């Protein structure tokens, strides 16, 4: 058996180590960062002629020191493991989908479910409101009080349906400036904060480290920041530390508050709808923000969750060379 056959058998042996993994996996040479083999998921994402023999840095962008990579127009968590094979060093790179973020199939299921709820509930509720308007002129004060309570309850149910519609039609609700791909992030932040009273604005610190326009559509960025800032305001503990909004670069913004850490059972499904600790909330805000971010191949992740560093959400936008 010649050296070429031995090498091919060795590579096939390496391939067998990763063939069953569902996430994209690359095995790279430890000295050159050249891809030796990849599993079916990675090969399918790369397309023809495949990733073998290419530099890993030509296919994925690694977010500095944060364990994130951008590959195939999506963000992943990076798991890197070093090993030796035939007296040489190699790295196994596994690109994991963030479990707290719904994937495409889960999102389709969620939105189909919401569509059914909207269809089944709105028509009979509209009929109930019509009947209520026909009989709301009763003269008895006790009956008037009862009818007003029924009307309040019905209004609340319609508010819930309106929230569900916002999530279901998230892809078509933002109509302005959809062609634009950059914005002045600090101006957008100041505009969002202008909607709040002076007490909240005094508790907010805005830091802008970006030297260029933020690489994101302005209308969509305003929607996302409105949700993240509102979320921070609702969970703020009132400590001496302000709510901090930081434009860290032209593709990264973080919003930090110093409230109570989010429980682990919530963290694991944080961006799924109906996951919330608030009694009067459907928990769709972060889901909506995530859907809007996805339109630009961006992602929102919980980048901090403790008392010392705060509860931090970060919007990551794709690098220009990979988007």
Task: Return the CATH number at 302.
Answer: 3.30.565.10
Claim to verify: residue 133 and residue 74 sit in the same structural domain: no
- The pLDDT assigned to 260 comes to 84
Q: Helix 218-234 crosses helix 185-193 at what angle (to 10 degrees)?
A: 50
Sheet-wide strand order for 299-306: 204-208, 243-249, 252-257, 310-316, 299-306
Cα dihedral sign for 305, 79, 296, 118? negative
Domain-embedded: residue 112: yes
The backbone region for 67, taken as left when phi is positive above 0, alpha when psi lies in -120 to 50, beta otherwise, is left
> For residue 55, what is the DSSP state?
B
> For residue 214, what is the DSSP state?
B
User: Domain tally for the chain?
Assistant: 3
What is the residue range of 74's domain? 3-96
Q: DSSP characters for 138-175? A: ---HHHHHHHHHHHHHHHHHHHHHHHHHHHHTGGGS--
- The pLDDT assigned to 1 comes to 41
Claim to verify: residue 139 and residue 71 sit in the same structural domain: no
Domain-embedded: residue 174: no
Distances (CA, A) of 276 to 4, 265, 270, 311: 58, 10, 8, 15
Domain-embedded: residue 210: yes
Domain-embedded: residue 130: yes
Domain-embedded: residue 230: yes
At which of 78, 96, 114 does a domain end? 96
At which of 64, 79, 96 does a domain end? 96
- The pLDDT assigned to 248 comes to 93
Domain-embedded: residue 321: no
Cβ 220 vs Cβ 174: under 8 Å: yes
Long-range contacts of 147-153 (CB under 8 A, 24+ apart): none
- The pLDDT assigned to 239 comes to 62
- The pLDDT assigned to 126 comes to 83
Q: Convert 102-133 to b/e letters by CB count within 10 Å (16 or more is b).
A: beeeebeebbeebeeebeeebeeeeeebeeee
Task: Return the CATH number at 61.
Answer: 3.30.450.20
Claim to verify: residue 132 and residue 86 sit in the same structural domain: no
Could you tell me which residues come within 8 angstroms of residue 235 by beta carbon, excluding any fewer than 6 positions away? 257, 259, 260, 311
- The pLDDT assigned to 242 comes to 83
Cα dihedral sign for 10, 16, 19, 21? negative
- Tell me: the pLDDT tens digits for 213-268? 888 888 889 989 999 999 898 877 666 678 999 999 999 999 999 888 888 888 88
Claim to verify: residue 249 and residue 153 sit in the same structural domain: no
- The pLDDT assigned to 246 comes to 96
Q: Helix 104-135 crosses helix 141-168 at what angle (to 10 degrees)?
A: 160
Claim to verify: residue 303 and residue 217 sit in the same structural domain: yes
CA distance 32 to 61: 17
Claim to verify: residue 131 and residue 195 sit in the same structural domain: no
At which of 96, 125, 151 does a domain end? 96
Domain-embedded: residue 218: yes
- Tell me: the pLDDT tens digits for 105-132? 888 888 888 888 888 888 888 887 777 7
Claim to verify: residue 276 and residue 196 sit in the same structural domain: yes
CA distance 9 to 251: 43
Claim to verify: residue 126 and residue 74 sit in the same structural domain: no
Claim to verify: residue 210 and residue 282 sit in the same structural domain: yes
Claim to verify: residue 89 and residue 109 sit in the same structural domain: no
Helix H or strand E segment including 291: helix 285-294
Claim to verify: residue 207 and residue 145 sit in the same structural domain: no
pTM of structure: 0.81
Claim to verify: residue 133 and residue 242 sit in the same structural domain: no
User: Which of the residues in the chain have pLDDT under 70?
Assistant: 1-14, 136-143, 170-180, 237-240, 276-282, 322-323
Domain-embedded: residue 175: no
């Amino acid at each position: 058996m010649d050296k070429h056959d031995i090498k091919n058998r060795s590579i096939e042996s390496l391939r067998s180590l990763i063939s069953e993994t569902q996430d994209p996996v690359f095995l790279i040479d430890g000295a050159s960062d050249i891809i030796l083999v990849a599993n079916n998921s990675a090969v399918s994402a790369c397309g023809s002629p495949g990733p073998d023999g290419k530099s890993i840095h030509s296919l994925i962008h690694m977010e500095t020191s944060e364990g994130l990579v951008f590959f195939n127009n999506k963000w992943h968590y990076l798991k890197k493991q070093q090993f030796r094979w035939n007296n040489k060093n190699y790295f196994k790179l596994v690109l994991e989908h963030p479990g707290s973020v719904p994937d495409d199939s889960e999102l389709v299921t969620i939105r189909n479910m919401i569509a059914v709820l909207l269809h089944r509930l709105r028509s009979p509720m509209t009929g109930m409101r019509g009947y209520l308007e026909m009989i709301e002129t009763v003269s008895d004060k006790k009956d008037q009080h009862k009818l007003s309570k029924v009307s309040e309850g019905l209004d609340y149910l319609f508010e819930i349906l309106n929230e569900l519609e916002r999530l279901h039609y998230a892809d078509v609700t933002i109509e302005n400036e959809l062609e634009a791909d950059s914005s002045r992030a600090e101006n957008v932040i100041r505009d969002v904060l202008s909607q709040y009273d002076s007490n909240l604005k005094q508790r907010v610190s805005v830091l802008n480290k970006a030297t260029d326009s933020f690489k994101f559509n302005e209308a969509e960025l305003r929607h996302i920041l409105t949700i993240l800032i509102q979320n921070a305001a609702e969970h703020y503990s009132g400590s001496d530390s302000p709510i901090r909004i930081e434009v860290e670069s032209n593709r990264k913004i973080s919003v930090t508050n110093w409230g109570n850490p989010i429980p682990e059972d919530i963290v694991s499904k944080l961006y799924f709808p109906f996951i919330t600790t608030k009694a009067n909330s459907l928990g769709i805000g972060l889901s909506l923000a995530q859907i809007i971010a996805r339109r630009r191949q961006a992602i929102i992740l919980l980048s901090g969750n403790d008392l010392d560093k705060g509860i931090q959400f970060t919007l990551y936008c794709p690098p220009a060379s990979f988007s």
